[in-house]
Amino acid sequence: MKGSGNNTKCLANLAAFVIFQVAVILILAFTVMRVRGPKVRLGVVTVDSFSTSNDASSPSFNMRLIAEVTVKNTNFGDFKYGNGTMSLAYNGTVVGDIAIVKGRAKARDTAKFNVTIDVTSDRLASTASLGTDMNSGVLTLRGDAKVKGKVKLLKVMKRKRSGVMDCSLSVNLATRAVTTKCK
Ligand SMILES: *[C@@H]1O[C@H](CO)[C@@H](O)[C@H](O)[C@H]1NC(C)=O
Ligand SMILES: *[C@@H]1O[C@H](CO)[C@@H](O)[C@H](O)[C@H]1NC(C)=O
Ligand SMILES: *[C@@H]1O[C@H](CO)[C@@H](O)[C@H](O)[C@H]1NC(C)=O
């Protein structure tokens, strides 16, 4: 009788230990090991040089923008990304693009860097409705970028992840202030 009582206690301890282990693994699986793609966004954008014409026959814009790009890594491991590209588009046509140089966002941190990007209406096939748009005083551009890389966890595990930028920039043509909105 005494022996079987010890066995029961031993089994109960073993069961409790197994349950504890499973709980720890589940908690790890849903927190530390859960690997998410980075969030790629635009920070402050400033206008460096600027020339526009809303001449009715040939409206145009030429601007050099300095844009802060942020790569937010919510994972518990570093995110290392390779070279990428970023582009700005007006009405679906790319009017400026630039290379994003490879880098790293540390664990649960945000990497920030500035890019200089020249945009020009010379790249538009048609400027038919550009004049009307510019007369409204605000030029809206779409910012696109893709960052691809790997999240490294517990020093050995690597998971491929990527993030895309989906932002809109509104350039106030009178004040040259730029407001950005990102998804
Ligand atoms: C990334 O870009 C830099 C600078 O443009 C270049 O020197 C390097 O070779 C590129 N690396 C890869 C892997 O393409
Ligand atoms: C980007 O440039 C702005 C000024 O145009 C500066 O305030 C900001 O600190 C820069 N950000 C980085 C990450 O260098
Ligand atoms: C956008 O481009 C299309 C052709 O791709 C053109 O028909 C339309 O008028 C343009 N809209 C603006 C606001 O420029």
Percent of the chain with pLDDT over 70: 98
| Mean pLDDT score, 15-37 | 86
What's the confidence (pLDDT) of residue 2? 54
Distance 85 CA to ligand 1 centre (A): 12
| Mean pLDDT score, 116-144 | 90
103 with 133, same domain: the answer is yes
CA-nearest residue for atom 10, ligand 2, is: 114
What's the confidence (pLDDT) of residue 125? 85
Residue 1 reports pLDDT greater than 70: no
CATH number of the domain where residue 130 is located: 2.60.40
Residue 166 reports pLDDT greater than 90: yes
By CB neighbour count within 10 A (0-12 exposed, 13-18 middle, 19+ buried), where does 79 fall?
A: buried
Nearest 5°: the CA angle 21, 158, 100 is 140
What's the confidence (pLDDT) of residue 66? 96
Residue 3 reports pLDDT greater than 60: no
Does this model's pTM top 0.85? My answer is: no
98 with 172, same domain: the answer is yes
Mean per-residue pLDDT of the chain: 91
CA distance 167 to 63: 18
Q: For residue 48, what are the β-bridge partners?
A: none
What's the confidence (pLDDT) of residue 38? 96
If DSSP codes are grouped into helix, strand and coil, which group holds residue 181?
Answer: strand
Region of 113 on the Ramachandran plot (φ > 0 left; ψ -120 to 50 alpha; else beta) = beta
Please count the structural domains in the chain: 2
Taking each continuous run of H as one helix and of E as one strand, the counts in the chain are 2, 10
124 with 51, same domain: the answer is yes
Residue 31 reports pLDDT greater than 80: no
**DSSP state, residue 112:** E
17 with 64, same domain: the answer is no
Residues near ligand 2 (Cβ within 6 A): 46, 66, 68, 112-114
Residue 94 reports pLDDT greater than 90: yes
Split at pLDDT 50, 70, 90, the class of 4 is low
Tell me the ligand closest to 111's alpha carbon: 2
82 with 134, same domain: the answer is yes
CB-based contact 86:136 (threshold 8 Å): no
Q: For residue 39, what are the β-bridge partners?
A: 72
Distance 115 CA to ligand 2 centre (A): 9
149 with 168, same domain: the answer is yes
CA-nearest residue for atom 8, ligand 1, is: 83
Which of 128-150 are b and which e, b meaning 16 or more Cβ less than 10 Å from the residue's Cβ?
eebbebbeeeebebbbbbebbbb
Which of 11-20 are b and which e, b meaning 16 or more Cβ less than 10 Å from the residue's Cβ?
eeeeeeeeee
Distance 56 CA to ligand 1 centre (A): 43
Q: Which helix (H) or strand (E) holds 30?
A: helix 2-30
Residue 11 reports pLDDT greater than 80: yes
Residue 60 reports pLDDT greater than 80: yes
Residue 134's domain spans which residues? 39-182
72 with 152, same domain: the answer is yes
